[in-house]
Amino acid sequence: MVYRNRKQKGVQEGPRNVRTIVFSDIHGEPDIIRGVLEHSDYSSGEDRLVFTGDAVDIGRDSAGSLALLDKLGAELLVGNHEYGVFVDWDFEPLDSDVVESVKRRLASGDWLLAAEADGVLITHAGVSARWTSEFEDRAGGDVARFVSALNREFADAIESGLLATQGVVDAQGPLWWRPDRGVSELPGIVQVCGHTPVELLAHGAATDSLSKRGLHLVDPWVRGWSDRGFAPPTPVRYAVIEDGTVRVVDAG
């Protein structure tokens, strides 16, 4: 267990800094949410909780994952699996109630594409250097303005039903882009995202290099866990954004 501003458990705390806890890619496994909450010592009403997409598919309880995220009041960003459900991509079969829930959430604007915390960009997949000019020219280098622009473009994509090969939802956008082991070009924005290929997650030097350049990865790799038969321990990986800094915790 991690205790903020505490020398030991049970000691009375002083004032706490506001923390943003970011996690992603639970893929139908609500126990991963519980693991993040417990390990981070999450405090409702004091901490901000942001989920960066891919709540459904692969795991055993997509409906339970959505319900728990709702109960916690987490800020929800869309992942490529949610968008895939919205545009009727052929993912693994999901219960009709889950499909309808995801489509309703996206159509109503409940799930956004991007968020910001202390000047840190939060999306499902991150953004590459392709977005540098938009960040600098359209948003004036301001992350909050960039987030607003991304969310407006995403709302337009939802309204027009863009496929995952078009506009802000294409393969180089914040739903699908993947950095590579060769250390991809980045746009000079500090970012937290999931949607990471296991080849990169398994390559510690590459993830460390990307983190030093401002791209912090929090995908717990649920697919690998499920392929092993869901044996314990539950994978837990998340980021803490506090006082303008990002710390990634891997407890899986």
- Residue 124: inside a domain, yes or no? yes
- Residue 15: inside a domain, yes or no? no
- Residue 33: inside a domain, yes or no? yes
Q: Which two tokens stand for residue 225?
A: 């866990």
Say how far apart CA 189 and CA 197 lie, in whole Å: 21
- Residue 3: inside a domain, yes or no? no
What's the domain range around 132? 20-250
Say how far apart CA 191 and CA 10 lie, in whole Å: 34
CATH of the domain at 56: 3.60.21.10
Reported pTM: 0.90
In 3D space, the residue among 216, 175, 223, 176 whose CA is nearest the CA of residue 199 turns out to be: 223
- Residue 245: inside a domain, yes or no? yes
204-221 in b/e burial notation, b at 16+ Cβ within 10 A?
A: eebbeebeebbbbbbbbb
Q: Which two tokens stand for residue 121?
A: 């960009």
- Residue 5: inside a domain, yes or no? no
Say how far apart CA 59 and CA 75 lie, in whole Å: 21
**Would you give per-residue pLDDT tens digits along the chain (252 residues)?**
333 333 333 434 445 568 999 999 999 999 999 999 999 999 999 999 999 999 999 989 999 999 999 999 999 999 999 998 998 887 677 899 999 999 999 999 999 999 999 999 999 999 988 888 888 888 899 999 999 999 999 999 898 877 666 778 888 889 999 887 655 688 889 999 999 877 787 777 888 888 998 999 999 988 888 887 888 889 999 999 999 899 999 886
- Residue 39: inside a domain, yes or no? yes
Q: Per the structure, how many domains does the chain have?
A: 1
Type of residue found at 230: F
- The answer to whether residues 22 and 218 touch, using CB atoms and an 8 Å cutoff, is yes
Say how far apart CA 178 and CA 162 lie, in whole Å: 20
